[in-house]
Structure 1
Amino acid sequence: MTDKNYSDDSADSDPECFNNNATWNGNNLLTQSRQKIPTRRVSLSNLHNRMNQTKIDPFFEPKVLRKNNSITKTESIGSLAKESKVLVIYTGGTIGMVKNANGVYEPCPGALGKSLKAYPQLHDQSYFRKYFGLPESDELLVLPDTGEKTRVVYTVFEYDPLLDSSNMTIDDWVLIAQNIKREYHRFNGFVILHGTDTMAYTASALSFMLENLGKTVVITGSQIPLFEARSDGKENLLNSLIIAGNYCIPEVTILFNNKLFRGNRTSKISASNLDAFDSPNMSPLVNIGIKINVDWNNVYRVSTIAKVNVHSKLNRNVTLLRIFPSITVETIRAFLQSPIQGVVLQTYGSGNAPSNRKDILNEFREATKRGVIIVNITQCANGKVDAAYETGNALIEAGVIPGSDMTPEACLAKLSYILSKDEWSIETKREMVRTNLRGEMTVIREQKVEDLSLVQAIANTLKVSTSDEIDKLRSALYPAIVCAISARGDINSLVQLKKSGIDLCASDYDMRTPLHIAVNHDKLDVVKYLLSEGANVHAKDKNGETPLHLAIKNNNYEIVNILIETGALLDMPKNRIGDYVTNAAANGKIRLVKTLNLAGATLEEKDSFGRQCIHAASEKNQPEIVDYLVNVVKVNRNRKDPYERTPRDIAKYFRHKEVLEILDACDENQASLKER
């Protein structure tokens, strides 16, 4: 088979498993009359060249992400306030498998994405036809109305070849993380479809690799393929899309059986039950019942002002060592030998190991001196390492680091991540192991103070007494209080509210967060404080506006700059950006033009009438803006407007001498450069 040239916008032909012999029966089951589902083969050398990767694991099988350009077609359609865009990345796993003629489940390239339109709970055909006007064959999908704030518009990208999660490698984690980063500006949230066997490992690894994450990443799958009548995949996928599209939970999470868990606190607990995953030392972030209940106080938020980044290097030289009675010192020594640099040590109970085994303790001590990092976690499913016992304290004296209540999957991933940080000293790496980096371990929080007297007074006045009623009152009043204080710029009061356990990121009745309010009132210091406390720059109000949109409207260059530093994106249709920049250029607002450029606008976007800002600036005699566009931004000054006029044609027609001089000088400079 010849190599296939995959491109971001290419639409692949139907996979072979969707041939003329593939049919749907009344129960939406895909039946196959052929004897074997063919597997697509691609050239390894071609994939190596495209991905430009250096393998970490020699058993990694190179693959590419098969994409479509459906989402780009929606950029000028619909309202940002009404729709949220989610990318589904299918890596492989049970959820997308089909039965072959022998009754065995096998992966079928392209089958999952093609089939989703057949499920009314996963695709609203009438909405699709009404608002998008795309061909029925288009790979864009939209969820039906679920009672949430926005409609979720989504599409499926798929790896080729598909991967059985038992064959997952570090390189696959790197690939997934890089693909998320590559599509980060285009989508509001991400859903990763994954096999269940190594799902917890992948979630843990991605949680560390995706640094400064500001959007929701949900990993899910199923125990029964989506094509089967009893599949848990439909509900898992539906709930994942709702969460990723409507709830700003900036973590890598796992969704299974109506619960959303923090990914690095989760383990697979059952090979056959639908309730296959659990987070033994932390309650779920979200419980999905008749209503979707989010535990916002437990959502992990980044406290650094920085853009999302992928740390694409992990250290393979880590291992897992489980203590058992009469374990030999030779076994211990073998686990600690080079090239091993990190060991997850699973001990009894609260972190205990035999204190009378001086030989074992000495091996740990010597390994620590050589720079091997050993982390102690419990063998028990629930609980944490505690140094209160003599046997546990003996390990600490030997240089072993207590790992609190980390899962084995999280601890391995954390060690792999930390050990790959070549710029850190061994002392820094040991300190980072003790530090809660992504919510992977329980830390003691500051004692929560009593409710605000105002809330209690209102509760008494309204005769509210039950805990449920008071909780509802809190959820209604606290966001309004925080927003009002943010508008005043009172940082000291915000600090006190934070100490009281109040969520500084909660939105009010208009879906405005305190960050929206602080930006709108030009409170730079409050903006900085809220960002340092994990305020999300991607949150949208009921009008679909992010804090960045408000900062641009206010022409506040300083606030735009700090929002961009934190990863804010100019998330709006190109023609709307074009309207902003052409209007600013026409009215001589040079600072706003520069602000928009800083925010990510190329300044070559077309407005609703097909003009670019250089056309508007040339027509309205704005020489300063024209000079900035052609000499700083280097826009194409020969582009024609809908009337076939270049900027120079426009300036000449309106006799704008200064604008003409700038454009002519630019032409002369270019001509002299060519002569050289």
Structure 2
Amino acid sequence: METRSDEARVLVIYTGGTIGMLVSSRGYVPEPYFLTDTLRSQKRFHDPLQDSLFSNAASVEGYREWSNSGKSTPVSTDNVTTPSASNQPTLLVKSSRPIGNTVTLSPSIFSQIQRVNEQPECRNVADGVYETRLPSLVTPRSVVPGNGHTKRIRYAILEWNPLLDSSNMEMDDWIRIAAEIELNYTSFDAFVVLHGTDTMSYTSSALSFLLEDLGKTVILTGAQIPLSQLRNDAVDNLLGALSIAGNYIIPECSLYFNHTLYRGNRVSKASSYDLNAFHSPNFSPLVNVGIDIVVNWNDVLRQTSLRRFRAYKGKQMSPHVATLRLFPGMTGATARAFLAPPTRGIVLETFGAGNASQRPDVLAAFKDACDRGVVIVAISQCIKGSVSGDYETGQTLIQAGVVPGGDMTPECALTKLSYLLAKPELTAAEVRSLISLPLRGELTPPVPSLAAAPSLDGVNIDLSGLLSQFVRLSSSAPKADIPQIVIGEEAQDAAAPWSRTAAERASTEAALLPFLVHLTVARDDVEGLEFCITSAATASCSGMTEGTAEVVVPGGIVNCLDAGSGRSPLHVAALNGNMRCVEKLLESGALVHLRDELGHTALYYAARQGHDLIVDTLVSAGANLGGMENEAGYVGLAVQNAVNAGDDAVVEIWRRAGAKIID
């Protein structure tokens, strides 16, 4: 879902990888501090004064004014003094490691510290939690895709020390990335993880499970050619990831590469030399970046659990998992050796649609392992396709206790198995049950039998109901006096017959439903809201099953934005104190982190209006006051006014919303 304030805050966690490497006598090697120094020197990545060509070429008038101002004339940098770290805008960042050990400040501040002999302040604020202020970089102001507004992205880079080649990435490093996202979750709008390409699909899959009840955008990216080379893919990948992270709320762990955003647990690295290095064979991309940025909103996951975000509490993954690829002639002895303790889980790469050799010793080895609690998940060796169990040679595996893994990738199946086996509360039987269920959109559920296609009369009846609701909510007349709209053969007096195509029905609903939803929420009309949600869902399903056009509202109908204020239905419900609609919206996938044109969240409006029950509901669903609301002084001013007025009830509401109250 598109965000609407004029600045987004993104934390970039730089773990290493090709993107920041330099050429040495030993080949490409990571160089500390190089990446941030390079980004700071390039106007497309850092334009703090907004005086670059990128910031002033949105219109002919703007470009001419900038060009005639003299700012476009290159200035010699021979005598320019690099500003000290203390003069740079900073962002507060937390880390799970102390500075000087395995996490460092961004490269530029370290180089500046070395120049001016300054020491960064790093505080140990809790057990295993450290915080410091990192210098921020800010992109040129650019036009937000789709609405004509301009926006910039302010970001800080948390660089690991040492930087890792992705082939050295381990499970503990996945936990560390998840922990750093959790520590900084309330302070940033989105997160970008810079990572090597070799194991990026493993990390993106693991993070999709470790980041539970995720409500913000997390994107992994990297490069095949490092930023240090004149011709590279690093610029496009990093700029693309920053742009999507700063402009849209896509509450998933995703992977961005070669102008495409994929669901993170659906990808595999397919090429070591193509710039199009990753493929998602069984699931379409979430975003395609071309001349336009096209978000496939119907495929984006929606958070409906009404729980706050957290990284997996166990803080570990089971290392006792492995992948076994079947091959012709495999013996039972080989299988038993592979399945021996301490192995607890195996991803079994089977032939075709889930088939295996029918050798009795091999099948006995699998059955014995399953009987003693080893979880074996069957996936296909084919790049594209799924385990179906349609063949007898596949059914024997299921009878032995092997669990079908659908169309999961090997990387996803392994990390999901490791994640589930690390949960001490789950039995082997429960793990087997969860393996076959889509927890984060990682596998395609079985397709139910298609119902009979709706008749054209049914299409007209649905559209008649939609337009009747639209007229009812738009009118101040008593309900009994509002005419019902009838479309179809019964509308004999119509000047022109209504076109009866599903495509035109979809386009009509896409135009009317957003306005209708905002009306229903403003009036606390839960029945009308349910009608809108059902209408959108029915039309979407109809489009998918019949191959016709779908109702496509960015982020879903419950997240549609008012064109003037940028407010979502959740903003409107919270502002007006309409608790029933708040609950219905959250149950239907409303995003709690959306900000309107003024940069405010629904939680801010609920607290400002004194709607305490709505505040509690939003907080329990994962909402938090944005960093900009705190730093711009809106929250502080409201709290101070309540304190000065002696209004303890209002102060308590702000406290429950997450405001810092100084007693």
TM-score (norm 1): 0.73
Q: Deviations over 1:337-392 (max 9, x none)?
A: 111111111111111112x3222222221111111111111000101111121111
Residue equivalent to 1:506: 559
Amino acid at match of 2:463: S
Shift of 1:507: 2.0
Superposed, 1:247-396 pairs within 5 Å as 247-311=248-312, 312-354=315-357, 356-396=358-398
Cα separation, partners in 2 of 1:103 and 1:476, compared to 1, 3 Å: farther
Determine the structure 2 residue equivalent to 1:478: 513
Q: Which residue of 2 aligns with 1:36?
A: none
Corresponding residue of 1:651? none
Alpha carbons 1:344, 1:408 under 8 Å: kept: yes
For the Cα contact (< 8 Å) 1:489–1:518, is it kept in 2? no
Please give the secondary structure, in 2, of the residue aligned with 1:573: helix
| Counterpart in the other structure of 2:97 | none
- CA shift, 1:125, in A, is 4.1
Counterparts of 2:167 and 2:647, CA distance in 1? 57
Instruction: Find the aligned partners of 1:515 and 1:553 in 2 and give their Cα distance.
Output: 15
- 1:90 equivalent in structure 2: 14
Select which of 550, 573, 582 maps to 2:630. 573
Write the distance in 1 (CA, Å) between the matches of 2:443 and 2:326.
Answer: 22
1:112 aligns with 2:35: yes
Does residue 1:595 correspond to 2:653, yes or no? yes
Question: Which secondary structure does the structure 1 equivalent of 2:141 belong to?
Answer: coil
Number of equivalent positions: 524
Partner of 1:140: 136
CA contact (8 A) 1:86 1:189 kept: yes
State the superposition RMSD in angstroms. 2.9
Q: For the structure 1 residues 467 and 277, does the alpha-carbon distance in structure 2 shift closer, same or farther, using more than 3 Å as the test?
A: farther
2:595 paired with 1:535: no
Q: Distance in 1 between matches of 2:441 and 2:646?
A: 48
Pairing 1:176–2:177 present = yes
Tell me if structure 2 keeps the 8 A contact 1:489–1:523: no
**Percent identical across equivalent pairs?**
42
Contact 2:367–2:400 (8 Å) recurs in 1: yes
2:513 maps to amino acid:
Y
Matched, 1:517 2:554: no
8 Å Cα contact 2:219/2:254 also seen in 1 = yes
Change (3 A) 1:284 1:471: farther
* Counterparts in 2 of 1:197 and 1:433: CA distance versus 1, 3 Å: same
CA distance in 2, matches of 1:121, 1:465: 49
Q: Kindly state the Cα deviation for residue 303 of structure 1 after the two structures are TM-superposed.
A: 2.4
2:271, 2:418 → 1: CA distance? 26
* Separation in structure 1 between the aligned mates of residue 160 and residue 406 of structure 2, nearest angstrom: 36
- Residues of 2 paired with 1:155 and 1:466: CA distance? 50
Letter in 2 for 1:497: S
1:190 and 2:243 matched: no
Measure, in 2, the Cα distance between the counterparts of 1:158 and 1:186: 18
SS in 2 for 1:430: helix
The residue aligned with 2:129 is none
Structure 2 CA distance for partners of 1:528 and 1:277, relative to 1, 3 Å: same
Contact preservation (8 Å) 2:559, 2:590? no
- The AA in structure 2 aligned to 1:360 is V
Distance 1:279 1:471 in 2: 28
**Separation in structure 2 between the aligned mates of residue 598 and residue 277 of structure 1, nearest angstrom:** 44
Per-residue deviation, 1:121 = 2.1
- Seen in structure 2, the aligned counterparts of structure 1 residues 467 and 258 have a Cα distance that, compared at 3 Å, is farther
| CA distance in 1 between partners of 2:363 and 2:345 (Å) | 16
Contact 2:332 2:364 (C-alpha < 8 Å) held by counterparts = no
Write the deviation string for residues 399-423 of structure 1: whole angstroms up to 9, x where unpaired.
Answer: 1111110000000010001101101
Alignment partner of 1:427: what SS?
helix
Separation of aligned partners in 2, 1:417 and 1:462? 57
Shift of 1:590: 2.8
Instruction: For 1:496, give the aligned amino acid.
Output: T
Partner Cα distance (1:153, 1:390) in 2? 57
**Which SS does the other structure have where 1:219 is aligned?**
strand
Shift of 1:467: 8.9
More relative contact order, 1 or 2 (CA 8 Å, 6+ apart): 2
Alignment partner, residue 423 of structure 1 = 425
Distance (whole Å) between structure 2 residues aligned to residue 232 and residue 463 of structure 1: 50
- The residue type paired with residue 546 of structure 1 is T
- CA contact under 8 A between 2:178 and 2:211: conserved in structure 1? yes
SS of equivalent residue, structure 1 residue 174: helix
Tell me by how many angstroms 1:318 deviates.
Answer: 0.7
Q: Would you say 1:553 and 2:556 are equivalent positions?
A: no
Letter in 1 for 2:569: P
**Aligned residues of 1:269 and 1:276 also touching (Cα < 8 A):** yes
TM-score by length of 2: 0.74
C-alpha distance in 2 between matches for 1:348 and 1:208: 27
Alpha-carbon offset, residue 302 of structure 1: 2.6
The separation in 1 between residues aligned to 2:179 and 2:227, in whole angstroms, is 27
- In the alignment, residue 35 of structure 2 is paired with which amino acid? L
What is the CA distance between 1:582 and its match in structure 2? 1.3
